[in-house]
Structure 1
Amino acid sequence: MVTTSVLYLPIGRKTFDLQVGQNIFEQSAVWLKETCATVCHPDGILTSVEELETFLESVETKEIDTIVYQSVTFADGEFIAKVIESMDQPVIVWSVREPSVGGRLRLNSLTGGNSTSHVLRDRKHPFSFVFGNPDEDKLQTLLKQQIQVNRLIWSLKRLTIGVVGEHPAGFFFSDVNEEQLQSALGVKILPIDLYQAFEAAKKLPEEEWKPVIHQAEQQVVGLNRSDETVKRFAQFTTYLQKYIGEHQIGGVAIRCWPDFFIELGAAACSTLSHLTEGGVVSSCESDIHGSISMYILRELSGGKAPYLGDLVHIDEAKNSVVFWHCGAGAYSLAHPETGATAGVHPNRKMGLTMDFGLKAGKVTIFRLSYSQQGYRLLVMKGEALDSPQAFDGTSVEVKLTNHAEETLYRLMKEGFEPHYALVYDDIADLLVKFGKQVGIETVVL
């Protein structure tokens, strides 16, 4: 079942065959309720703009994330114009098949969908179109995918990324143009003072941060609770979790070095791992678009923990590449033979970090990329191999679907950022649909 809240609007006119239309409505409502967490719909087909308006006034639309507008029969553009007067949610326009060919045109649903799509495009309202009857497998697949994409678009408009400290010098890719981000996706940025966070975290009473250590012990092999860096990890994580809850933050981008080592006396990696495992995506080096990339993957994969890493190695003979980072990775991503293992930062030799190779499985690699030319999406697919851990820290070897060396040179030529998000799922098609829906160029490699 898709975690989504759908407003289903069956639209028709009495001059067409509403007996056939009623069957379409009933089948559609049943399927939507079986597929989506919440579905709101009228008792029958809405046959006038006045009926539509009355129904909309009775609906709490705030939590609706997608509108399924079904042209049960032909209806003019007044209907959809009334809907988007007060709602900004993306629309799925759904036309159904004619019940018979020859004689009277009984539904004329396709023309209704055409008219509706024209209005939406003309008024620059996000929409997609699907065609088919509610019992068709292909139609059901398309609807389910588009509902997931619409849910993502809705949630991005309500997403706040907490940026804990400015990005390190020269890490230009970690920065953001807030106005352009808001315009493109609706995501908001909330700056958080890193040094104030350090001081507040150190002052937390022990009874507040001890549960984080207990929780981590259940998932991390070799965690030493008496280590001072483990205490610092728990303190900072606890402080940030409280701040996240109070400000309804959906993801964070954290300046990890050198400040964590110098001022806190511990690595940031374990906090990133812990938060991502708990559902709040977290990127290092204050990579804002990296955090958003992770969020998009988590949403489209049904809540699976994503990973963020550098592309650090290529093996032409195996057609594989390695993604790595210093020691951040959600606990559940570890290879099952080792589990998530506690370690120290490979360069600074300070804990607490994760030190493991990631598990095997199909993966989608993704980046919400930004340059002075605007936004674009990068989408790649591959298979995470059951390989020995490649480097200290966290890493995964991925056999790419396409030619690895050609992909490498294309990435460099196109100037994509060096942080890549990855999730254990095949959601490439959903990402392409997302790109089309929001009007962002999508590069598939």
Structure 2
Amino acid sequence: MINANLGSRRLSIGVVAIGRPTFDVPYAESLLATAMAALEGLDADIVGSTALQFDAEAMRSNLGALTEKPLDLLLVLQVTFTDATMTVELAKSVDAPLVLWSFPEPRSGGRLRLNGFCGINLAAHALGKAGQSFDYVHREADSPEALKEIMALARAGYVKRRLTQTRIGVVGEHPAGFDTCSYDTAELKSRFGVETQTLPIGGFIASAAAVDDAKADAVRARAAGDLGSLDDLDQDSLQKSMKVYVALRGLADEENLQALAVRCWPEFFTDFGCAACGPMAFMNQDGTPCGCEADVFGALSSLVLQWTAGEPAFNTDLVDVNVEDDTAVFWHCGQAPISMADPEGPIGPAIHSNRKLPLLNEFALKPGRVTLARLTQAKNEIRLVLGGAEILRAPLSFSGTSGVVRFDKPAGEVLERIMREGLEHHTGLVYGEHRPALRRLAAMLDLPVIELT
């Protein structure tokens, strides 16, 4: 079953092809056919007319298909030269990130048969004067690199659009001294369109305590399926932990929350008698990220990562950097999603290392390529932190869930950058290489980028 909150649905790309009949129309139409065949092969829905539009009236007749449903990207194929009139009108009429695609042509010594690049150059100037943002691709009609760029742009557009529909639940306040977890409600709304809804920690714990045992038992069956036998754990505390998940799931569903930032300690231990880590791991696997320590920007960063990757993300701490062997360790108490577990290592339930209460996931992260990202507020400026690394197969470094990584740059350089920038202690992590789409997203959101690697 596809979880739409993971961002795993097909993207929607609107297409308009423009040109002028005074150029080589048969050649233009042959290139357009090649480009459209390539686009139809993408894992995306292509919306719009495949015919070459020669004037604004013809273009307007096709606007209905482009405005009927939300688009993740509007792709204008500048097949031949045109003036900027149609492009500017499209930018103002269609609510989607705009990308211009022109095709190089051979330097034949004869006539310019297309002159499409000059067309996007003209459009770029007009769009800038009109205050319209855009991106561009100047590659061959059948270029695999062009398709990669277009898909990265479409994924970025999808994430940008989802952000404007996002509501994050905040359960309790972040711990004293955890400035890394602070946030400004008005700034979140103005910068990203993200809304927050707060709930006192005491009220949430009361709702968890009131959960029916039968609902908690169903969650226990899920936990046993993921982690193995739960019989050695304190059963009363385990049942309470299961109730926390039911309450988190219910809160997110009833209030239409795409993520949660949860004050995970000390009240869950001291006032209720269980750990929230395992329940938050289940939520992460569901595609509803939970930020520990009521970290709203951490939860938002996880959302951005999972919508970009189409799979669960992990909001984690960098807890060790070894310059000697050029490795580092990302860890959190036990809230990594089960899909990140190394199938060749032990996977099981655990108790919190400090508070000695269940339930936590415990496993080493599986080896593979990962993307690191964080929407940071370091130095009082919202920016996007990006990094790449490889998770190495290694024994569990610390109790809970953790992974040993080798960054794309030397660990000492990454450590220096983190400390000199004063970055937050939480970082989002997801499998795969997704920085191209995230860089495009940063440009769409007018965010400076800090490249860790």
* Contact 1:90 1:154 survives alignment (8 Å): no
Amino acid at match of 2:23: F
Secondary structure class of the residue paired with 1:322:
strand
In structure 2, the CA distance between the partners of 1:352 and 1:20, relative to structure 1 (3 Å rule), is same
Unaligned runs of 5+ in 2: 1-7
Tell me the residue number matched to 1:273: 281
* Contact 1:2 1:148 survives alignment (8 Å): no
Secondary structure class of the residue paired with 1:140:
helix
Secondary structure class of the residue paired with 2:405:
strand
Q: Give how far 1:327 is off.
A: 1.8
Question: Aligned partners of 2:250, 2:93: CA distance in 1, in Å?
Answer: 35
**1:108 and 2:131 matched:** no
Tell me the residue number matched to 2:62: 55
Deviations 1:213-263 (A, max 9, x none): 222221112324981233222222223223322333222211111121123
Tell me the residue number matched to 1:383: 390
Question: Aligned partners of 2:372, 2:180: CA distance in 1, in Å?
Answer: 18
**1:222 and 2:262 matched:** no
Tell me the residue number matched to 2:164: 157
Question: Aligned partners of 1:113, 1:30: CA distance in 2, in Å?
Answer: 22
* Contact 2:66 2:94 survives alignment (8 Å): no
TM-score for the superposition, normalised by structure 1: 0.92
Deviations 1:249-289 (A, max 9, x none): 22221111112112322111011100111111221111111
In structure 2, the CA distance between the partners of 1:255 and 1:346, relative to structure 1 (3 Å rule), is same
In structure 2, the CA distance between the partners of 1:113 and 1:216, relative to structure 1 (3 Å rule), is same
Give RMSD over aligned pairs: 2.3
Q: How much identity, in percent, do the aligned residues show?
A: 29
Question: Aligned partners of 1:179, 1:11: CA distance in 2, in Å?
Answer: 41
Secondary structure class of the residue paired with 2:282:
helix
Q: Which of the residues 242, 249, 256 maps onto 1:241?
A: 249
Q: Give how far 1:78 is off.
A: 2.0
Tell me the residue number matched to 2:174: 167
Tell me the residue number matched to 1:286: 294
Q: Which of the residues 301, 308, 316 maps onto 1:309?
A: 316
Q: Which of the residues 328, 353, 359 maps onto 1:346?
A: 353
Question: Aligned partners of 2:241, 2:131: CA distance in 1, in Å?
Answer: 47
Tell me the residue number matched to 1:373: 380
Question: Aligned partners of 1:169, 1:89: CA distance in 2, in Å?
Answer: 41
Tell me the residue number matched to 1:407: 414
* Contact 1:363 1:382 survives alignment (8 Å): yes
In structure 2, the CA distance between the partners of 1:192 and 1:11, relative to structure 1 (3 Å rule), is farther
Q: Give how far 1:380 is off.
A: 2.0
Deviations 1:294-322 (A, max 9, x none): 12222222x23222222211222211111
Tell me the residue number matched to 2:219: 212
TM-score for the superposition, normalised by structure 2: 0.91
**1:295 and 2:303 matched:** yes
In structure 2, the CA distance between the partners of 1:258 and 1:238, relative to structure 1 (3 Å rule), is same
Q: Give how far 1:56 is off.
A: 1.2
Question: Aligned partners of 1:196, 1:375: CA distance in 2, in Å?
Answer: 32
Task: Report the count of equivalent residues.
Answer: 444
Q: Which of the residues 188, 194, 202 maps onto 1:181?
A: 188
Tell me the residue number matched to 2:75: 68
Question: Aligned partners of 1:366, 1:255: CA distance in 2, in Å?
Answer: 22
* Contact 1:99 1:106 survives alignment (8 Å): no
1:248-263 to 2 correspondences below 5 Å:
248-263=256-271
Amino acid at match of 1:386: R
* Contact 2:16 2:50 survives alignment (8 Å): no
Amino acid at match of 1:426: E
* Bigger RCO of structures 1 and 2 (CA < 8 A, at least 6 apart): 2
Deviations 1:2-42 (A, max 9, x none): 83011111122233333222223322222222203311111
Tell me the residue number matched to 2:48: 41
In structure 2, the CA distance between the partners of 1:189 and 1:124, relative to structure 1 (3 Å rule), is farther
Secondary structure class of the residue paired with 1:329:
coil
Tell me the residue number matched to 2:4: none
Q: Which of the residues 306, 309, 324 maps onto 2:331?
A: 324
Question: Aligned partners of 1:238, 1:306: CA distance in 2, in Å?
Answer: 20
Secondary structure class of the residue paired with 1:238:
helix
Amino acid at match of 1:130: V
Amino acid at match of 1:178: T
